[in-house]
Structure 1
Amino acid sequence: MNKKRVLITGAAGFLGSHLCDKFIDEGFSVLAMDNLITGDLKNIEHLFKREDFEFYHHDVSKFVHVAGKLDYILHFASPASPIDYLKIPIQTLKVGSLGTHNLLGLAKEKNARILIASTSEVYGDPLEHPQNEDYYGNVNTIGPRGVYDEAKRFQESITMAYHRFHGIETRIVRIFNTYGPRMRLNDGRVIPAFIGQALRGEDLTVFGNGLQTRSFCFVDDQVEGIYKLLFSDYSNPVNIGNPHEITIKDFAEEIIKLTQTNQKVVYRPLPKDDPMQRQPDITRAKEILNWEPKVKRSEGMKITYEYFKGLSKEELQKKEHKDFSSHIRK
């Protein structure tokens, strides 16, 4: 029996690599694609020897060609941390616009179902709390974060246009803060930043007064929600995240307790347009997908901390790409 074939873009990234594992485990043939601008081949090297796994080094902002049949596409190619998308703003806008356009065209050509990775950032600095899918958001289109926020908002718009005009089977997941093994310590997001600082013996940096909130979802729960959404019959956006909200200040204290370090918390000015509240309303996911997160933050953080503790001293400073050029198809 021929296996179903899935293309996963951003496959060498944090979420993309876990999705590769999920689809391999579920019996799919996986075609992974990444330009490695923020991804790391180390995240998927364990899959290179498998016959049902292929890797292509390619930027989806350029024309995407895939030979043979293709049943599903998951578009996860995009910088996702402020450090990345503020450093490469044009590439961030391109992958959300040109990249999404290219992949929607590929889905049309192959008659494949496509799932687009959107984000809670489409809500901006929200004026409604918690955020449900019917809220249109509060986004500064010309602010520094606009390159990411608007790339994702356009991504949703063009996806729905292809769905309505061309009849393409599309799915849109709005991802809230997710964490777990394979996150990059130096990517600027809260959890790897705090753990990295603790492991290096540095004080934990909190921006603003620390009263802003986030809701953290363990990667296994996130991947399961995405998987269920792909195989659902629902085409409108769905929030996938953990609704258990915590202030950044309290979370910093949790990290200090978890790592058993004696660092103190230091405060720095809040970046422009940094959202003050993040909490998903997952009513739609519960009703349509029969999904809700199962992993408690205390459990997920222990797993994540053990992963980071296993990194070398060099990796704690900066994770470098290994040379896996012999495995790459360009």
Structure 2
Amino acid sequence: MRQKTVLISGADGYIALHLARVLRNLKFKVLTATRTMNGDLKMDFTSPYEVASLKSTGIDAMIHTVSPNEAIYKTDPYRALSENATGVHAALDFCTNNHVKDFIYFSSFHVFGSQEGRLTENTPITPRNDYGLAHGTAELTVQMFDSSNKVNGWIVRPSNLFGVPVSCETFKRWNLIPFLFCREAVENQTITLLTPGNQLRNFVGVSDVCKKVLWILEQRPEGRIFHAYGKETMSVWQYALLVQKVALEIFNLPVRIIRPEGSDHQGTFEFTSMYDDRNLAPRDELETFVKEMINVLLTRSGKE
């Protein structure tokens, strides 16, 4: 059987670096696309016409992980919305023009807006901010190309990702809670909550996400939308307590949690999947990640 060639866009990003490593270990041929000249292909999605007109051969599948940072949706929402929508369309046009049959788009659980109730792939999306709206629009674009038989288009919606970055030196998402609390614990011996933290979050390990993407690449399922969910759902406050516990018990590092008074809403919440496949059941442990992440941060800071 011919070795399958997979192109990963946004190849210097967090999830893309993990995907590239996993796929290469499994003997896939991995091509990388970045907005600089560091990848095999230059794909700057702020220039969608250039992306769509690129020529390449022999690519079996493209995994699109590019999306403007959440912060840009607050500082420059028009730019972020435009860049995301045209970027996905350009990536799909690239696939169509170069006979790339399979396309996987990394979306977000934020397309649901309200994080309450049981959310599966059949739950209607109801974005309530520009970030969720951008991913919802991109999902519709993928579905349009899929329904018109231009590509086979799959959508993966991860919840809150965790997993030690492939490169902490180039990692840019320290603002995300799983990483932020570990970093604050090591650098400041303090975790600061902006709210009481009662809101629930589902946490998914990056290796569980990679496992789901690999399954899509190999099985090419009839279903088109898949949730990448984790085995653990807890409040932000509970996660802060977990980091505090691990820091003290494993690393003898006392950590103080600063939590504002008051209460914020905590409804029922379950981010899960309608596909009950035992081989795809999440296995990554959040506490294991916290131990590994704190150890890496302590080593980098010279405290270990």
Q: Which amino acid aligns with 2:196?
A: N
Q: Alpha-carbon deviation of 1:157?
A: 0.3
Local SS of the residue matching 1:173: strand
Structure 1 residues 263 and 305 mapped into 2: Cα distance closer, same or farther (>3 Å)?
A: closer
Q: Which amino acid aligns with 2:300?
A: L
Q: Is the 1:123–1:136 Cα contact (8 Å) retained in structure 2? A: yes
Structure 2 spans left out of the alignment, 5+ residues: none
TM-score (norm 1): 0.77
2:40 to 55, 64, 69: 55
Structure 1 residues 308 and 207 mapped into 2: Cα distance closer, same or farther (>3 Å)?
A: same
2:29 corresponds to: 29
Correspondence 1:299 to 2:288: yes
2:141 to 158, 171, 179: 158
TM-score (norm 2): 0.84
Q: Which whole-Å CA distance do the structure 2 matches of 1:269 and 1:150 have between them?
A: 32
2:196 corresponds to: 209
1:310 to 295, 299, 302: 299
1:257 corresponds to: 245
1:245 to 233, 237, 242: 233
Q: Is the 1:207–1:267 Cα contact (8 Å) retained in structure 2? A: yes
Q: Which amino acid aligns with 1:70?
A: I
Q: Which whole-Å CA distance do the structure 1 matches of 2:176 and 2:118 have between them?
A: 21
Q: Which whole-Å CA distance do the structure 1 matches of 2:238 and 2:84 have between them?
A: 34
2:216 to 214, 229, 239: 229
Could you give the per-residue CA deviations for residues 212-241 of structure 1, whole angstroms, max 9, x where no partner exists? 111111111111112112333234211111
Q: Which whole-Å CA distance do the structure 2 matches of 1:247 and 1:203 have between them?
A: 18
1:111 to 91, 99, 106: 99
Q: Which whole-Å CA distance do the structure 2 matches of 1:275 and 1:187 have between them?
A: 25
Q: Alpha-carbon deviation of 1:305?
A: 2.5
Correspondence 1:11 to 2:11: yes
Q: Which runs of 4+ in 1 moved over 4 A?
A: 274-278
Correspondence 1:280 to 2:271: yes
Local SS of the residue matching 1:253: helix
Q: Which amino acid aligns with 1:165?
A: S
Q: Which whole-Å CA distance do the structure 1 matches of 2:261 and 2:55 have between them?
A: 46
Local SS of the residue matching 2:107: strand
Local SS of the residue matching 1:310: helix
Q: Which whole-Å CA distance do the structure 2 matches of 1:13 and 1:116 have between them?
A: 14
Q: Which whole-Å CA distance do the structure 1 matches of 2:271 and 2:11 have between them?
A: 25
Count the aligned residue pairs: 287
RMSD: 2.9
Structure 1 residues 306 and 185 mapped into 2: Cα distance closer, same or farther (>3 Å)?
A: farther
Could you give the per-residue CA deviations for residues 90-127 of structure 1, whole angstroms, max 9, x where no partner exists? 45323421111011112212332000111101111234
Structure 1 spans left out of the alignment, 5+ residues: 42-47, 49-53, 141-145, 314-330
Q: Which whole-Å CA distance do the structure 2 matches of 1:160 and 1:244 have between them?
A: 30
Q: Which amino acid aligns with 2:14?
A: F
Q: Alpha-carbon deviation of 1:86?
A: 3.1
Q: Alpha-carbon deviation of 1:84?
A: 5.2
Local SS of the residue matching 1:210: coil
Q: Is the 1:207–1:269 Cα contact (8 Å) retained in structure 2? A: no
Q: Which whole-Å CA distance do the structure 2 matches of 1:9 and 1:196 have between them?
A: 28
Q: Which whole-Å CA distance do the structure 1 matches of 2:213 and 2:266 have between them?
A: 24
1:70 corresponds to: 59
Q: Which whole-Å CA distance do the structure 1 matches of 2:92 and 2:45 have between them?
A: 11
Question: How much identity, in percent, do the aligned residues show?
Answer: 19
Could you give the per-residue CA deviations for residues 155-212 of structure 1, whole angstroms, max 9, x where no partner exists? 1101111111234211111111111111647631101110111111242122322111
Structure 1 residues 205 and 234 mapped into 2: Cα distance closer, same or farther (>3 Å)?
A: farther
Q: Alpha-carbon deviation of 1:15?
A: 0.3
Local SS of the residue matching 1:216: strand
Q: Is the 2:186–2:294 Cα contact (8 Å) retained in structure 1? A: no
Q: Is the 1:243–1:280 Cα contact (8 Å) retained in structure 2? A: no
Q: Alpha-carbon deviation of 1:131?
A: 1.0
Q: Alpha-carbon deviation of 1:33?
A: 1.4
Q: Which amino acid aligns with 2:61?
A: Y
Q: Alpha-carbon deviation of 1:147?
A: 2.6
